[in-house]
Chains A and B, each alone.
Chain A
Amino acid sequence: MEVGLLMLAGGVAAGAFGSILGLGGGILIVPLLTLVFGLPLREAVAVSLVCVIVTSSASAGVYLERRQANLRLGMVLELFTAAGAIVGGAVAFLIDERLLAGLFALLLVYVAATMAGGLRRPTSPEPITDDETPPPSPAPEPVALRQADMDYRVDRLPLAAAGSIGAGIASALLGIGGGLIKVPLMHLVLGVPLRIATATSNLMIGITASASAIVYLMRGGIDAYVAGPTAVGVFVGASLGSRLGHRIGQRALRLLFVVVLLYTAFEMARRATGLG
């Protein structure tokens, strides 16, 4: 019972902090399950994907209601992220867990560096994140409406499609939403406004993560006893985080998390090198 409650509490913490800091749950869930509970990395990735679907489906619903997500663009690109996710899901069972740990360590360093860079700027209006939780404030409807009837730089769609395949592979291998790739891709390559890119990325995360989660599920890679408490915890935590986020001082919390992420990256790197 104690382990179950700890897993539940860990899920709540991962969901809440992920939501407050604008990080996807996977960044925190995978290290939690591997480094704290000693689960194999591949099993942690599979459970993380289930949690990512839960939070992204809930928040994508909100984004759709607020008319912030671009349904058409999201559906076209998720065709490619889903294809990448299936490839990633199949590849995940072929490669050494130490390589996966090394890739995850690199991801953590990248996120920590991005977060540290944001700390140096006096105001960071719209950070590029792996966020799965919509902001609690009322919908900034005018932003969505201004984009009505606007076509993005669709001449670059092949490049965006190729990047989406990469995002899907990363999602399946590392148990993350992939917003870290998809949001910059839509914003910088297709010229989609950042707020709409974030909302659209959220919409795409569900089908991307479910495509790879299904591969893990069919291969017996998901443990229901671990997925249950973790998913419930993450769902509760993300809901709390989206309500409390604006009341909490972000700067100190972000600074703390840069340290936590770097320490976690170090531990993952130790695993990758066989020292952990």
Chain B
Amino acid sequence: MAGLGRNEGDADLEPTLARVLQVGTYVSIGLVLVGTVLLLAGGISPLAASPPLQVDRLVPDVLAARPAGFLWLGILGICATPALRVVSAAIGFWRRGEQRMVAVALLILVVVAAGVITGLLTG
């Protein structure tokens, strides 16, 4: 496969991807920080098993200021941030008509989705 050297054409795409990573990280770690403060303020030991992730409980837990809601939302954000970078890259390459890199990005997302399925099937 040719064309894997640095490409100066990526100069317009890279700042966008950097922004996606930085915003995603700061928002996610902010949520985790709120959850951690609530956890410590509530006198809950981190060694006490946390409630499992239940997607339908996220919003009620956040609204009720329960630490688990913020923590799980933040952890989901952390896990999703790199995938968001790949989605953004796919959009950027698609706009430039670089079908091969779009295909690479989509394949990465398929692999990540396979991780979700693997976890669900083996869990």
Measured between alpha carbons, how far is A64 from B10 in the docked complex, in Å?
Answer: 10
In the complex, which of the residues A157, A214, A232 contacts B112, with contact meaning CB atoms closer than 8 Å?
Answer: A214
On whether the beta carbons of B78 and A50 are closer than 8 Å, the reply is yes
Chain A at the B interface: mostly helix, strand, loop or mixed?
helix
Given contacts A4-B39, A217-B119, A218-B120, contact A231 B4 (CB under 8 A): no
- How many B residues touch the partner, as a band? 35 or more
CA of A65 to CA of B16 in the docked complex: distance in angstroms?
Answer: 9
- The binding surface of chain B is classed by DSSP as helix
**Scoring A residues 67 to 105 as 1 if CB is less than 8 Å from chain B, else 0, what string do you get?**
101111101101100110110011001000000000000
Residues of A within 8 A of B15 (CB): 64-65
Residue contact B101 to A220, C-beta cutoff 8 Å: no
Report yes or no: A76 in contact with B4, Cβ–Cβ below 8 A: yes
* Band of interface residues on A: 35 or more
For the complex formed, measure the closest distance between the CB of A216 and the CB atoms of chain B, giving whole angstroms: 7
28 A/B residue pairs, CB under 8 Å, sorted by A? A4-B46, A5-B40, A50-B79, A53-B82, A57-B22, A60-B85, A71-B17, A71-B89, A72-B4, A82-B108, A82-B112, A82-B115, A86-B115, A90-B122, A148-B7, A154-B1, A157-B4, A210-B112, A214-B115, A215-B118, A215-B119, A217-B53, A219-B122, A225-B68, A226-B47, A229-B46, A232-B32, A232-B33
